[in-house]
Amino acid sequence: MVNRMRFYIDGAWIDPAVTKTTRTVNPATAEEMYEVALGSKADVDKAVMAARRAFEKFSQTTRGERIILLENIIEIFKRRMKEIGDSISDEMGAPLRMAEQKQAKSGLSHLVTTLEVLKSYSFEERIGSAIVLREPIGVVGMITPWNWPMNQIACKVGPALAAGCTMILKPSEFTPSCALIFTEILHEAGVPKGVFNLVNGLGHEVGAAMSDHRDIDMISFTGSTRAGIDVAIRAASTVKRVSQELGGKSPYIILDDADLDKAVSGCIAKIVLNSGQSCDAPSRLIVPQSRMAEVAEIAKAAADKFKVGDPRTEGTDIGPVVHRGQWDKIQALIQKGIDEGAKLVAGGLGLPKGMDKGFYVRPTIFADVKNEMTIAREEIFGPVLAIIGAKDEIDAIQLANDTPYGLAGYVFAGSPERARKVGHLIRAGAIYLQGVLLDCDAPFGGYKQSGNGREWGRFGLEDYLEVKSVAGSLEG
């Protein structure tokens, strides 16, 4: 049983500086489960001091030492996969099988990938008269979200450890337990004291204290664009590096020669995954205007196949969204879609039929959406799809890029060559062609207001490295 009333600082579980708590709610029942301690600036200061002390020694560890450390973490992580999945399902509502096989497993995949990158990565190279070194950036503040909690923790902590950095993690207050389990894993694996520290808390308190802190060298943040802007403003006074993965309103383009049934069904499967709570969810389906009615019919039939229900019930495809505030926001945006004249094809307002509690959202599809409508502009973060008609391929590309976001884009065409041509013209950091997804080795991150920096694989490791040129040290 994890201890939710303490923080992990300098290799030990300690009491918060000030007693303050919040209650974690089970989104499937809307009932409170337990209390979680909330931190303050004083707790952040203590964690940063520990990380700063530890950096001097840990930054000088060898590649071999860090490889052994990651190998230990991975082996212990494997033993606790089911426990991690259970906690994610209970706290953010993912169906239990999905929480174990996708949510928890994604964390393991990032750790394994990081280990392989570390084994072969070149931390120095010769360029002209200089030796160019890549060194750990220093103390890193990490702020992670609730929607893919273990995925985001692992793809930050793993590379930071591999680089030789020390760190402070603030996980989401809505999904604290998997972060606490992960902390226990690191402790058991032998991570030296002060290298990893955890402080639970709220964004405007703990997150703000981390962003402001003069002794933190870098902030790695995943969350909303609104919160990311605040982090960047606070970090600017100390000119620390800020790496961000923010919101999205990703287009899913289906061209006129594509297999319509396969393409539309694929889009629906992705928008309902995780109850639509994924930053790269394809929430704008852009299709030939002449085939709007046919697409809407296929989309409705595909959506109707997914079962909304209790995350712990076998056969459930879609669980609840994470909390009441998120449910209320989604309902308001569905109403906005209706008010602005979009055609409601499936789903709609209120709880699904037969449910009277929990934060469940009906999978909702709008057709005949205009790209200037609110539901086509704002990130809904729920299982809500806007179908937009395009006159031709050029119009489809223009519609896809007509957004302040640029995290992901999807293209389905009659041939890989045509899909690739269109994909190259979408202004986004991750492009998925013909239903193929990224491996953990490829970089993930956004253009425009979807963020900066890159995570995953070699690019994720390099986010935590500084570059130093040393001239005059060459022999001969």
* pLDDT 10s digits, 433-454: 999 999 999 999 999 999 999 9
Beta-strand runs (E) in 199-327: 218-222, 241-245, 251-254, 284-288
pLDDT in tens, 103-141: 999 999 999 999 999 999 999 999 999 999 999 999 999
Strands 405-406 and 408-412: unpaired
Establish how many alpha carbons lie within 13 A of residue 230's alpha carbon, considering only the half-sphere containing its beta carbon: 13
Selection from 138, 173, 135, 136 nearest residue 48 by Cα:
138
Residue 1's pLDDT band, with cuts at 50, 70 and 90, is low
pLDDT in tens, 344-401: 999 999 999 999 999 999 999 999 999 999 999 999 999 999 999 999 999 999 999 9
Mean pLDDT value across residues 54-59:
98
Mean pLDDT value across residues 91-104:
97
Name residue 166's beta-bridge partners: 139
Cα angle 8, 14, 20; round to 5: 100
Cα angle 425, 430, 433; round to 5: 70
Residue 95's pLDDT band, with cuts at 50, 70 and 90, is very high
d(CA 291, CA 297) in angstroms, rounded, equals 10
* % of the chain residues with pLDDT over 90: 98
**For residue 476, is pLDDT > 90?**
no
What pLDDT is attached to residue 323? 97
pTM of the model: 0.96
Catalytically annotated residues: 245, 279
Phi-psi map region of 456: left, alpha, beta (phi>0 left; psi -120 to 50 alpha): left
As a whole number, the mean pLDDT across the chain is 97
Residue 2's pLDDT band, with cuts at 50, 70 and 90, is confident
Residue 475's pLDDT band, with cuts at 50, 70 and 90, is low
Strands of the 241-245 sheet, one edge to the other? 12-14, 7-9, 196-198, 166-170, 139-143, 218-222, 241-245, 451-452
